[in-house]
Structure 1
Amino acid sequence: PAWAADKSAKRGIAYDIAQPADLSALSAGVSWWYNWSPKPHDRLASYDYASMYGVDFIPMVWNDNVDDGQLKLYLQAHPAIRYLLVINEPNLQDQANMTPEAAAR
């Protein structure tokens, strides 16, 4: 596809994109996005955004409050996912707020 020539694997978007049109508008020049959640916004769940826009969703386990079983099922249902972001700013109280010991578990 034409968009593939301008993509950088190092360039992504950190935003809870909720509309396919928004993803389309932002996708030029980026290869991935995340939204601080294990899944993309519900409005994008049925889209093949990787094929349509050349953009991969990177799931995130924001803190230790995660349903391991649901995460495993989601990852199994989406085998193209190659990366998983884990623990958002564990040292900040208004973010994951975890000790190094808890984060390592």
Structure 2
Amino acid sequence: MQKNEDQLPDFLQSYGSLLSHFNNHFSSLNSYERGASFAQLVRKLTPHTTIGERFQTPILKQHSHDKGVDLECLSKDKRESLYIQSKYTIKDRQF
């Protein structure tokens, strides 16, 4: 694929390419490490989303009972809270 300034990297061209990219990067990690790494990605991406841009950078709070990672942040005006459930994969789900 030819690249120019307006094109996304190959791994962002499709869901399958993104999943393959993640699998390559996460293959040597155990389930806990994959979840923690994915939560860090979510933490960094959230401020760049339509909803997340109104909030401060999320902080990691805890690993929840379902092995997801919970993140929280306050709005920039400190009047709202955003609670995030980060989950790398959902068992038995195909997208």
Query: Which bin holds the TM-score, normalised by the shorter protein?
Result: under 0.3
More strand by share: 2
- TM-score, length-normalised on structure 2? 0.24
Q: TM-score, normalised by structure 1?
A: 0.22
Q: Where is the helix percentage greater, Structure 1 or Structure 2?
A: 2
